[in-house]
Amino acid sequence: MTVMLLGLVIFLGAHSSRIVAEPWRERAIARLGPNGWKGAYSLVSLLGLVLIVWGFGIARAQPVLLWLPPVWTRHVAAPLVLIAFVLVAAAYVPGNALKARLHHPMLLGVKVWAFAHLLANGRLHDVVLFGAFLLWAVLDYRAARARDRASSAVYARGRMVPTLVAAAVGVLGWAVFAFWAHRLLFGVAPFGP
C-alpha cells in the first residue's frame, strides 16, 4: 500500500498545484517556460501513475476486505462509468453543450468514475485509490469554479454536432473498456464472471 500511497501523493500532488499553489505554479511556468513546465509536469505525473499502478498491483495481492458490496452496486456502477466516459470525452471535444453547461466535465467525470468504483468495491486498496481521486476531483472542481468566478469566465454556447460526437466517443470508449480493456488491464470483467 505504501507504493500506491506514494504514487497518489506524487500524481495528485502534481495535479493539485492549481488548487493549493497557483502563485508557485505561475512562477514555475515563467521560469521553465510553458513547454518546460508541461514536460516536468508530465514526467512527475507519469512517475506518480507508474507508482499507483505498481502499488495497486502489490496491494491486490494481499487484499484487506472492509465490506462485501452487494451485487446491485455493480449494476449501478456500470451506467455511472458510462456517464463518466461521456463527461471525459466532452472535455476534449470543442464546442459541445456539456462543456458549455458544466464548464469542467473532466473533473465531473473523475468524480462520477471514482464514486462508481467506491460503490462496487469494498477492499482497502480500492477505497484508498478511488476515495483519493474522488476527494481530489471535488477539491479541484471547487477551485476551478472559483477561478471561473474570479475571472468572469464565459463559456461558448454548445452546438449539437460536437455534443453528439462527445457522447459517441464516450459511449464507444466505455464499451471498449467495459467489454474488453478492463479485463485485459485489471483482470476484472465488469460484465463477466
> In this structure, are residues 108 and 141 in contact, taking their beta carbons and an 8 Å threshold?
yes
Global confidence as pTM: 0.91
Tell whether 101 and 131 lie within a shared domain. Answer: yes
Query: What's the number of CA atoms in the CB half-sphere (13 Å) around residue 81?
Result: 24
- Name the stretches of the chain with pLDDT < 70: 192-193
pLDDT at 191: 79
pLDDT in tens, 148-175: 999 988 888 899 999 999 999 999 999 9
Tell whether 132 and 88 lie within a shared domain. Answer: yes
Residue corresponding to grid cell 458544466: 102
Range of the domain at 115: 65-193
Helices (H) and strands (E) in the chain, counts: 9, 0
Residues forming beta bridges with residue 65, ordered by sequence position: 123
Domain boundary among 9, 38, 62: 62
Domain boundary among 62, 84, 105: 62
In angstroms, the Cα distances linking 134 to 68, 69, 88, 110, 118 are 20, 18, 15, 7, 9
Tell whether 12 and 103 lie within a shared domain. Answer: no
